[in-house]
Structure 1
């Protein structure tokens, strides 16, 4: 560990550096197998420095999940090919299945949905303010008629549906598309569907 870890005055990069270091650890050891001492070693900082940015492992998980969720959504929804379908429902369905595929093909994200990490993911899907904010914003784009609390609840439902498909995959993309079409799209697209 170096004593001058942040000597260059760029403390604002510390969080990113730590989260970058933990990404490699998740790939190598799985999510539940990573301890705070290992994270500090991988980031090249002291444990005291690590705890200055993250109070505990849960806070580290939440920050990592929030950052990575934002990156995945940006990559997928920013792809011009995604907007090729004329029907809004098909575009949404294409986007949701592309999100699932992107998470599955990204090693540091796919590891989160391995059977041994299901409890961690379930806990995070209920606790991450960043993921909640992303999901609420996503829902508001499709359902601007919803008041903020209803959009938040619907966003939480969408996150839970996606997490369940990642944790317990269907028999293939066709089955997952059918589940999304039947159980998620009606709430995202139907302005007549009441959500309290």
Structure 2
């Protein structure tokens, strides 16, 4: 398997739901509501209405508004990592791959508000209202993304630099 395929596979399904399923449709509706009304102005009823389902259906997938926001952030992160994976896989060396990853992530943080929230201040992220355990899930998602990168270059890394 090519390094890029490993990296892309690492992000596949990391959020625990199939793409295009009911969870994705609810998160799409939540994204619209959050964009239009902001986090404090978005209710579970708003999300249900936008998705064309009952509130009970929303609650079947998400226990509260914070878990919807967390799901939205995890999905956005997963999608971002899947988009950038082929670009990172093009590099023959870890150094340039790392620099490219950081530079592209900074650019994405300016373009995409949700990515910007992840890399903003701790107060910005705390103000979003995430469900408990979201930080761990984000860490797991990024670790899963990076695992094949480290596996690929592990043998060429020595203390103090890249050999």
State TM-score, norm by structure 1: 0.55
RMSD over aligned Cα, in angstroms? 3.3
Alignment-derived partner of residue 140 in structure 2: 133
Q: By how many angstroms is 1:127 displaced? A: 2.4
- Superposition deviation, residue 60 in structure 1: 1.1
Q: Does structure 1 conserve the Cα–Cα contact (< 8 Å) formed by 2:78 and 2:141?
A: yes
Paired residues of 2:23 and 2:61 also in contact (CA < 8 A): yes
Within the candidate set 41, 51, 58, 2:49 is matched to: 41
The 5 Å alignment of 1:111-122 reads: 112=117, 117-121=124-128
The higher relative CO (CA closer than 8 Å, separation ≥ 6) is in 2
1:27 and 2:35 are equivalent in the alignment: yes
1:142 Cα deviation after fit? 4.6
The alignment status of 1:73 with 2:81, answered yes or no, reads yes
Judge conservation of contact 2:69–2:130 (CA < 8 Å) in 1: no
In the other structure, the counterpart of 1:106 is: 112
User: How many residues are matched?
Assistant: 135
TM-score normalised by length of structure 2: 0.64
Q: Secondary structure of the residue that 2:134 maps to in structure 1?
A: coil
Alpha-carbon distance change, 143 to 191 in structure 1, aligned in 2, over 3 angstroms: farther
Q: Which structure has the larger Rg?
A: 1
The SS at the match of 2:21 is helix
State the distance in 2 between where 1:32 and 1:89 align.
Answer: 41
In structure 1, runs of 5+ residues without a counterpart are: 1-11, 145-188
Change (3 A) 1:39 1:61: same
Structure 2: any 5+ residue segments left out of the alignment? 1-19
Once the two structures are superposed, what CA deviation does each residue of 1:76-112 show, in whole Å capped at 9, x if it has no partner? 1223xx55655421221111221232243135x2574
